[in-house]
Structure 1
């Protein structure tokens, strides 16, 4: 029986992923280069990726770059773009569905606690979450399952009793490795990526009816 829902943050609650890719792509364009989407896929949802976009760019231009200056200017634009974003469609509705079902609600993010909590407070939804687990709590972030395992432990449920809501293949893989079901809701960037073993894929959280989905899972599990 499902008793908890665990949200990702970046790209699922607030679309920070589009501006992250956009600002790196803008830098690449300045040097006559393109940022391959298949390479970027290794970064999304993880802070432990083996792909370094600045390494890749330096190899393209054939010389070292002032990474500190580039990153400072890129981050400034990234934050400015995010200021134009609002909470993604369906998030508030799914949070309300979870409350009505009596489910516990958590969050597992590869970003820092200050980043996540700051935006949750700004969006006015922080009180909905009984537990937050971020990269400050683990040695390895997604696709490692530690974040999801810790979130389930914090909520007092077995991973098999939780469903993760994810927008990236790295996040979905982390949830499945933790022993959870996973519903993928790709954003404008991650919709181009291939997802592996997931339980459901939606275009928007507006499409999600938690109770109906959980009822189907229960019927499948019991064979009734």
Structure 2
């Protein structure tokens, strides 16, 4: 029996305390993060140097990282690099690599089953609106989302909680009644700062990073039935609400 068969479409069920799911995009819906890192690694190798994950990791899931790869290439080369040429080549290489990336396992099932459970569905990404909407549209996923908030709409991206706060406000739910689905330390930090239950689903790149702040870690959404997730998140939400002043 499918998970969707456990409830009547659009009607509240035993998990009704959780009202919404909010997805990250890069690395969670589609693994665009590994291709981007690979493209930069190739550029660094062409310039006789190495880009380590430890150097790159702070920028995963955020647009506010201060590492400047072009400046690093300047230092490695001992002269200024042609930034315009590298930017053009990098974008072309990333497009090539990302075009082969599928929707990650379990994502489409969650999107369909969320409706069956009467949940609102949002997306909060540090990437640009054009990037997120373009990839969702190409994969036929855009219609699943009630709201999409992106990095060009906020002053600070993840780990700042602004994107998650905007998304939950759009959905008309308290953060404690929504589940964030993430893949990176910056994303997990943003969700927790917003006051949300957070499930982390690391990809090939982020599974090497510290994700201990998440409430649940799972190798794939395909391995975690939505009903089980909602039950776990509901219990967390109840504890969270009881711990707040004035909540019985």
TM-score normalized by structure 1?
Answer: 0.95
Q: Tell me, yes or no, if the aligned pair for 1:94 and 1:208 is still in contact at 8 Å.
A: no
Partner of 2:102: 86
Partner of 1:25: 41
Cα distance in 1 for partners of 2:145, 2:215 equals 23
Cα distance in 2 for partners of 1:55, 1:193 equals 24
Cα distance in 1 for partners of 2:168, 2:102 equals 28
Cα distance in 2 for partners of 1:58, 1:205 equals 41
Consecutive unaligned residues of structure 2, counting only runs of 5 or more, are 1-16, 240-248
1:131 equivalenced with 2:131 (yes/no): no
How much is the aligned-residue C-alpha RMSD, in angstroms? 1.4
Q: Tell me, yes or no, if the aligned pair for 1:9 and 1:107 is still in contact at 8 Å.
A: yes
TM-superposition CA deviations, 1:116-144 (whole Å, max 9, x none) = 11111111111110000001210111111
Consecutive unaligned residues of structure 1, counting only runs of 5 or more, are none
Which structure has the larger Rg over C-alpha atoms?
Answer: 2
Partner of 1:96: 112
Deviation at 1:187, TM superposition (A): 0.8
Q: Tell me, yes or no, if the aligned pair for 2:48 and 2:76 is still in contact at 8 Å.
A: no
Deviation at 1:61, TM superposition (A): 2.4
Cα distance in 2 for partners of 1:151, 1:73 equals 34
1:155 equivalenced with 2:171 (yes/no): yes
Cα distance in 2 for partners of 1:155, 1:47 equals 24
Judged with a 3 Å threshold, the aligned counterparts in structure 2 of structure 1 residues 13 and 159 are, in CA distance, closer, same or farther, namely: same
